[in-house]
Amino acid sequence: MRAAVALLALLLGSPLLATVWSRRNLSVKVPRGGSVELENASYASREWTVSLKALEVKTPSRAVNGVVTAVWLFHYTNTDKEPHYVSVTVRCLDGRRQERTHFTAIATLQPDQPDGATFEIAAKMQEGDWSMTTWAKVVVDFLSTPKG
């Protein structure tokens, strides 16, 4: 009886745990106008690999009502014939590594991109928060579906 109850609990709980295949936590200096490599931001099976390779941050737009839009470009590869999905959370940190702002987006990594492709996130933030941002803590969740 106990084994049956434990098996039922495992089966009911598994779909909830299966939505995030893998999580990577990265800390990088924000590459204002340049790019930085992202290490260990990948997920693989025997047949394919998906990987976030680099981060590039474009100079933000002019401030409108104290808000700027910074474009964060993520360079990736996907050797699978199927699309894969990632949730990216970026925490913008100041020089003391205190959080100034954060944003999250879900992206589709298009299939058959062994030579690389990019996706971008346009993040709106307060001009003061952007000017203080020097570091980024990037959390990458490789998802099983586009909705997580």
Say whether domain 19-143 belongs to CATH 3.20.20.210. no
One-letter identity of residue 37: E
Higher local confidence (pLDDT), 145 or 136: 136
pLDDT band at residue 20 using 50, 70 and 90 as cut-offs = low
Residue 147 pLDDT grade (very low, low, confident, very high; cuts 50, 70, 90): confident
Delimit the domains of the chain by residue range: 19-143
Q: What is the pTM (predicted TM-score) of this model?
A: 0.84
For residue 90, the cross-strand partners are 103, 138
What does the chain come to in residues?
148
Q: What pLDDT was estimated at residue 2?
A: 53
> What does each C-alpha distance from 28 to 1, 31, 67, 88, 131 come to in angstroms?
51, 8, 23, 14, 16
pLDDT beyond 70 at 19: no
Q: Flag whether pLDDT at 148 surpasses 90.
A: no
CA triple 88-146-107, angle to 5 deg: 35
Using CA atoms, how far residue 22 sits from 56, 86, 87, 133, in Å, is: 23, 10, 11, 27
pLDDT at residue 9, rounded to an integer: 46
DSSP code of residue 79? -
